[in-house]
Amino acid sequence: MNIKPYVRKANYYETDQMGIIHHSNYIRWFEEARVDYMEQLGFGYDKAVESGIDFALLNVECTYKSMVRFGDTVRIIVSIAELSKARMTVSYQVLDDKTGELRSTGTTSHCYYHQNKKRPVSLKSELPELYALFEQNIAKSPRL
């Protein structure tokens, strides 16, 4: 399966007083890209939630390399860095779409949380189809 980077144009409302994209927006972009990644896998985030599984955020990290400004288009490469039955870590690379310049890198760590059971669960047991998709694509995730 060929996963394409998530492409996004920076909006004016996302800028700060210096005219650059406010740092908090990168975290939102990571989420948008992660949701797009799952849709491309053929098992959207909405389908997981309808099945009772959510991806509780445990940790988020972002390293800023260069500025994104209003009107710039970025592509966000998503890859699964670590995968277990109970958790996963997702990696992000934000690149300028025209120049390929690295704008930021980041990771998010998640546990699989069952909404009805109100506790973390094994994704391999609860949604084996989704776990298998993650497992099949961990080595095939796009890289720089």
Domain spans, the chain: 6-136
**Residue with more model confidence, 62 or 19:** 62
- Per-residue confidence (pLDDT) for residue 3, from 0 to 100: 94
Kindly state the percentage of the chain with pLDDT values over 70: 96
Q: What are the tens digits of pLDDT across the range 112-128?
A: 999 999 999 999 999 99
Instruction: Name the catalytic one among 16, 46, 72, 97.
Output: 16
Rounded mean pLDDT of 93-107?
Answer: 98
Beta carbons of 108 and 45 less than 8 angstroms apart = no
pLDDT of residue 139: 58
Residue 54 CB neighbours (<10 A): 15
pLDDT value for 55: 97
Tens-place pLDDT, residues 45-62: 999 999 999 999 999 999
pLDDT the model gives residue 144: 45
- 97 part of the active site: no
Please give the CATH number for the structural domain made up of 6-136.
3.10.129.10
Please give the helix or strand (H or E) that residue 50 lies within, else none.
helix 45-50
pLDDT attached to residue 1: 75
Angle 137-56-131 from CA coordinates, rounded to 5°: 25
pLDDT in the model for residue 49 = 96
Q: Give the separation between CA 66 and CA 69, rounded to whole angstroms.
A: 10
Torsion of CA 10, 11, 13, 16, to 10 degrees: 30
**Residue 140 pLDDT class (50, 70, 90 cuts):** low
Q: Is the pLDDT of residue 74 over 60?
A: yes
Rounded CA gap, 63 and 105, in Å? Answer: 5
